[in-house]
Amino acid sequence: MTRSFGLIVVGDEILSGKRADKHMPKMIELLAARGLQLAWAEYVGDEPVRVTAALGRAFASGDVVFSTGGIGATPDDHTRQCAAAALGVPLALHPEAEVLIRERMQDTAREQGIPYDPDRPDNVHRLNMGVFPLGARIIRNPYNKIPGFSVADVHFVPGFPVMAWPMIESVLDEQYGHLFEQGRSVEKSVVVFGSMEATLTPLMESVERAHPGIRVFSLPSVDHPEHGRHIELGVKGDGARVDAAYAQLLEGLHAFGVRLGPELVR
């Protein structure tokens, strides 16, 4: 069964420009390595109403969605609470998460050479990082043991790449291996000089009509360092069907009498 993959990046720091998002490029890379593609991405700040709405759409989509950021226990972390609100379920301390967080606190105490005090206020507060929507499953964190969580096919990981990326990989490999290669596609395109997109649109539409499942794309450029003003026109989709669609596209371009440049295969 074909599934779509989505990404939600949570955090005011991304929208303000204090930090540049690294998650979407990495998500594209991780999926591509497994023959999959990212279908959509959404950025949202730390406003609970917006986070809840974004997560509500994710849960309703039926897609496999990864959400990064906002699962800590500081006042600006709202993702856990918003996930519960979007699902209409209460929050609860996950038993396995509690064990892992206590292990982390004990490790930290040993590293600092101090006794572990489970009743110390800051240690009690840290347990909030294991308070997840009721029924959630944990995602193990190999970096510091503080887990993320999953509900259905929506998966929540920290905003720190050093933690998030291995966690995303583990979820993909452990839960979605049967989908690998479903999104593997081939692109064939050609550089077109001396034409406009509007002129070529009827040809693009006719290729898509003749080859269901194939998508035609047009990437115009006005100041390319090598080709100058041009359009990269191509087709993408299942490799077995791309060749026929591309042949029709080239035939149509020759009929227009346009000048063609290099052909590209990806």
Q: What DSSP string runs through 80-130?
A: HHHHHHHHT--EEE-HHHHHHHHHHHHHHHHHHT----TTSHHHHHHGGGG
pLDDT at position 46, please? 95
Domain chopping of the chain, boundaries: 5-179, 186-265
Mean pLDDT of the chain: 94
Residue 171: pLDDT above 60? Answer: yes
How wide is the angle at C-alpha 21 spanned by C-alphas 44 and 18, nearest 5°? 85
Residue 261: pLDDT above 60? Answer: yes
Residue 185: pLDDT above 90? Answer: no
Residue 220: pLDDT above 60? Answer: yes
pLDDT in tens, 151-162: 999 999 999 999
Is the separation of the CB atoms in 167 and 148 below 8 Å?
A: yes
**Range in 61-75, 175-189, 205-219 with the lowest mean pLDDT:** 175-189
Dihedral sign computed on CA atoms, order 151, 175, 67, 92: positive
Can you read off the two tokens belonging to residue 203? 């040809």
Can you read off the two tokens belonging to residue 18? 């204090």
The larger pLDDT score, comparing residue 264 to residue 104, is at 104
Query: 242 — phi, psi (to 5°)?
Result: -65, -40
User: Measured between alpha carbons, how far is 247 from 250 in angstroms, rounded to an integer?
Assistant: 5
User: Measured between alpha carbons, how far is 55 from 82 in angstroms, rounded to an integer?
Assistant: 7
Query: 217 — phi, psi (to 5°)?
Result: -130, 155
Element (H, E) at 253: helix 239-256
186-265 CATH pick, 3.40.228.10, 1.10.1240.10, 3.30.70.260, 3.30.460.10: 3.30.70.260
pLDDT in tens, 24-35: 999 999 999 999
pLDDT in tens, 73-96: 999 999 999 999 999 999 999 999
User: Measured between alpha carbons, how far is 144 from 103 in angstroms, rounded to an integer?
Assistant: 10
Question: According to the per-residue pLDDT averaged within each range, which of 137-141, 225-229, 260-264 is highest?
Answer: 137-141
For the residues 245-249, what does the mean pLDDT come to? 95
CATH number of 5-179: 3.40.980.10
User: Measured between alpha carbons, how far is 134 from 188 in angstroms, rounded to an integer?
Assistant: 47
pLDDT at position 183, please? 63
The residues facing 233 across adjacent strands are 190, 218
Residue 1: pLDDT above 70? Answer: no
Cα Rg of the chain (Å, integer): 24
- Strand segments, DSSP code E, in 130-227 are 131-133, 137-139, 148-151, 154-157, 186-193, 215-224
User: Strand 154-157 relative to strand 148-151: parallel, antiparallel, unpaired?
Assistant: antiparallel
User: Measured between alpha carbons, how far is 16 from 4 in angstroms, rounded to an integer?
Assistant: 29
Residue 227: pLDDT above 90? Answer: no
- pTM of the entire predicted model: 0.86
pLDDT in tens, 98-132: 999 999 999 999 999 999 999 999 999 999 999 99
pLDDT at position 74, please? 93
Residue 55: pLDDT above 80? Answer: yes
Rounded to the nearest angstrom, the gap between the alpha carbon of residue 78 and the centroid of all alpha carbons in its chain is 20
Query: 183 — phi, psi (to 5°)?
Result: -105, 10
